[in-house]
Structure 1
Amino acid sequence: MVGVPGRSKGCNTCRRRKKGCDLQRPACGQCLKAGIECEGYERKRIFVNVTNPARGTTVRAAAPAAAPATTPSTAITHSLSRAAYEEKMVDLFWDGYIPGAPVGGGPANPISRYSHADWALTVQDLYRTEPALRQTLLAISLGTVGRRDGQQWMVDDGLRFYCRA
């Protein structure tokens, strides 16, 4: 639609310059002809919360805060929610990798029946203390779960974790 911001598929340079982009890749023809560097096609992601509020409450747009003061309880809550989210992703990965396998190990754990040298149990024990293993397992988990559920942002985040590992 004409005049609606954010609908253009053109490169970032052509969008900023308000020029018609020919969508060539890796650099568009407009940028090549003008002799300027094409900034590419990737857009910054914007999080939009789509959960419905409880009935009887009103939703207001929050004014952007310059630098929110971080209290210890807020920092703890954020780190706990992140840890819980990471734990959930890893559990979903193990559930997809070895369905029905209880997480945590033990003599009746199906992981030990399918695995030589108990590598899966070792990974489960070490991923909390070894940063590289944690990054790798999170990358695999996000990529696997994202591909299974059709969530491209999870696959992209998995790739970022993989590059950091």
Structure 2
Amino acid sequence: MAFVVVFFAATSPVFAQSVGASGLPLPRFASLGSSKINVRVGPGQKYEVAWIFVQNGLPIEIIQEFDAWRKIRDSEGAEGWIHKTLLSGRRTALVTPWLDDAVAGTPIYARADATAPRRAILQPKVMVTVEKCETSWCEVSGRYKPDPSGDKSQNFKGWINQVALWGVYQGELVK
């Protein structure tokens, strides 16, 4: 039983948070600040490029710091290094990225209450901007383009339970 408690404490962000060289907590969430970012296998430009992010704003988890480099983890669990100037403090999240696209979707509500009127149903992997989080709910917003060929788009804003988001920790307060 002691092993289970030690393992949980070592892997839970609530218990494992420390302070990085930047003075900010580790781990922490941030987002990509550019639409083309090389993710490297080590902390420096001399290291090989492991893959390239091509979407601005995606949420990432910063898990380590070395000089001006940040070791990050994406929503699929892949890890690599990015220069800190390519990151943004803007908070974004992905809605249920662990679910299959065929899932019915996750509702967002008018208030932080599951009995409130629904504002929208968001499919897995939809990226949202995190406006704020209180207790177990986050207010999120975004833009949905139903038809890529047309210029019609819809803005949405509402409240979603934190358990449906990758980009915030359980119980984290975001202002």
Give the TM-score taking structure 1 as reference length. Answer: 0.26
Name the structure where strand makes up a greater proportion of residues: 2
Please identify the structure whose Cα radius of gyration is greater: 1
Name the structure where helix makes up a greater proportion of residues: 1
Q: Which has the higher contact order (CA 8 A, sep 6+)?
A: 2
